[in-house]
Homo-oligomer: A and B are copies of this chain.
Amino acid sequence: MGITIKDVAKLANVAPSTVSRVIANNPRISEKTKEKVREAMRELGYHPNFIARSLANQSTQVLGLITPGSTDVFFQNPFFPTVLRGISEAAHEKQYAVQLTTGQTDEEIYEGVVQMVQGGRVDGVVLLYSRVEDRVLQYLRERHFPFVMIGKPYEFVEEITHVDNDNFRAAKDVTEYLLGLGHERIAFIGGNRELVVTVERLLGYEKALSDAGIALKEEYILYEEFLKEGGQEAVCELLALEEPPTALVVIDDLMTLGVLNTLSEVKVKVPTDISVVSFNNVLFAEMASPGITSVDINIFDLGYQAGKSIIQKVENPTEPTKRIIVPYNIVCRESCSKI
């Protein structure tokens, strides 16, 4: 079908291997033949066949991205396109292509990863999430397949290259910010408790409270799905309490949107009646009314660093384990006030 190295070789009157070397810009080829070969390539409109190259090289120049099961939820969150853009940019810089897993359920995704990996479709993968006892992670570790993770590993922190924020501190910071405003009844609305990010932020929240000498209340700690519906449910539960909180730490802007919605429905005013801080600072943190005070975790950078790291690892297998902490900063808007 397509133009191959042989066609070029014939036209340029050289051996196929010479053409191959010209493509690789091998210094041991004379400038003269290089030019001759390049001319032939141009004339024929030659483009190297990646598949054949991959087979010969045992390397594909493709990165695999692994989303958590329940892709529908994950994709809905603006977090996803933003990390994707970050990874994509890093990939582009180094001429890597990017492939996605396609399953919906955990099982499908797992199968997809096995196919990607064992099928030799990708040189390395990036895990877009971190959860407790993850089968995919375990598999990748067992096979010693190159990967990096976005988020903090649940186990083997020292052995897994990962890109993360200091979520513990971030959560501690925002909780202290609320404490500083005079709040004492502060609730925490987390996501799925199997996600490490939930755990880390919860720990930060708890630390801030205990440092301040405030007892933790079990009924102030909720875990919901990473959706606006999650936020809605949480609010209902909290408002039903006999001593409802005066401030909320919500783990994700999307959930916060649900929170704000429900609050406005039941005529609870933000921030006068209740203060809210959130995480991720995606687009609608700004667009919501009131604007949401949110921790900007630099999602793009998370992706970009992860992309760079996995490529380094692929190209240099002896690359040491790394932990990259991306800075965060709190963006204050109108969702908090003194008590």
Contact of A78 among B52, B76, B84, B91 (CB under 8 A): B76
Q: Tell me how far the C-beta of A289 lies from the nearest C-beta in chain B, rounded to whole angstroms.
A: 6
Q: Is A52 a contact partner of B50 (Cβ separation < 8 A)?
A: no
Known contacts A81-B75, A114-B47; A55 and B58 CB within 8 A of each other: no
Indicate whether A103 reaches chain B with its CB closer than 8 angstroms: yes
Chain B contacts for A48, CB-based, 8 A: 119
Q: Is A100 a contact partner of B115 (Cβ separation < 8 A)?
A: no
Beta-carbon contacts of A49-64 to B below 8 Å, as 1s and 0s? Answer: 1111011001010100
Indicate whether A120 reaches chain B with its CB closer than 8 angstroms: yes
Indicate whether A192 reaches chain B with its CB closer than 8 angstroms: no
Chain B contacts for A58, CB-based, 8 A: 1
Indicate whether A104 reaches chain B with its CB closer than 8 angstroms: yes
Chain B contacts for A246, CB-based, 8 A: none
Interface majority SS (helix, strand, loop, mixed), chain A: helix
Q: Is B104 a contact partner of A89 (Cβ separation < 8 A)?
A: yes
Q: Tell me how far the C-beta of A244 lies from the nearest C-beta in chain B, rounded to whole angstroms.
A: 23
* CB-nearest residue of chain B to A98: B100
Q: Tell me how far the C-beta of A223 lies from the nearest C-beta in chain B, rounded to whole angstroms.
A: 22
Beta-carbon contacts of A218-245 to B below 8 Å, as 1s and 0s? Answer: 0000000000100000000000000000
Indicate whether A121 reaches chain B with its CB closer than 8 angstroms: yes
Beta-carbon contacts of A260-300 to B below 8 Å, as 1s and 0s? Answer: 01001000000000000000000110010100000000000
14 contacts between A and B (CB under 8 A): A47-B115, A47-B118, A49-B120, A50-B120, A51-B54, A51-B55, A62-B99, A71-B88, A76-B78, A80-B81, A88-B100, A89-B102, A97-B102, A257-B287
